[in-house]
Amino acid sequence: MGNASPLTITFDTPVTGAGTQIAVDDTANFTVFISAFDENNHLLGTFAQPGTSSLELDNSAIFLGVVSHTSNIKTLVYSSSEPEKTFAINKLSLVRVPDSSSTIGLLAFGILGTNSILKRKLKQS
């Protein structure tokens, strides 16, 4: 018995990117699909990737995700080329655009760290 329909994931707040590992049960070779939609249910894109399944539980399941230039992904839909087979996903990974103050803080931290490394190298010379 397979999935009755594709797996739909809807976010409370739109995200910049998201993805997960996906495997199809009892199928060596398959293709997985992901479609991303915005808040108005407009299709942002659909992507396909071939995959393989292993019974070894060795973390080899294919990772399939999407990333956008803005936080406009509201819904993801996963499906496979094997509708008669069950598929499963792993933990969902999310990407959110940080606010500008976080970005400036990280940039300043990186500059300070680089400056410190350069000073140590100059002292060693």
- The span from the CA of 35 to the CA of 4, in Å, is 17
Summary mean pLDDT of the chain: 78
Mean pLDDT is lowest, of 12-21, 37-46, 53-62, 85-94, for 53-62
What are residue 33's DSSP bridge partners?
A: 48, 79
In a domain, 65, yes or no: yes
At 46 the pLDDT is 94
- The CATH number assigned to the domain holding 32 equals 2.60.40
Measuring CA to CA, which residue among 80, 115, 62, 55 is closest to residue 5?
Answer: 80
In a domain, 116, yes or no: no
In a domain, 107, yes or no: no
| Predicted TM-score (pTM) of this structure | 0.72
In a domain, 46, yes or no: yes
In percent, how much of the chain has pLDDT > 70? 72
Confidence of residue 45 (pLDDT cuts 50, 70, 90): very high
In percent, how much of the chain has pLDDT > 90? 29
More confident residue, 110 or 54: 54
Task: Calculate the CA 104 to chain-centre distance.
Answer: 25
In a domain, 109, yes or no: no
Total number of domains in the chain: 1
pLDDT in tens, 78-105: 998 887 888 888 889 888 765 544 445 4
Question: Domain range spanning residue 84?
Answer: 7-97
Question: How many Cα neighbours within 13 Å face the side chain of 60?
Answer: 11
In a domain, 113, yes or no: no
More confident residue, 14 or 124: 14
In a domain, 104, yes or no: no
More confident residue, 21 or 113: 21
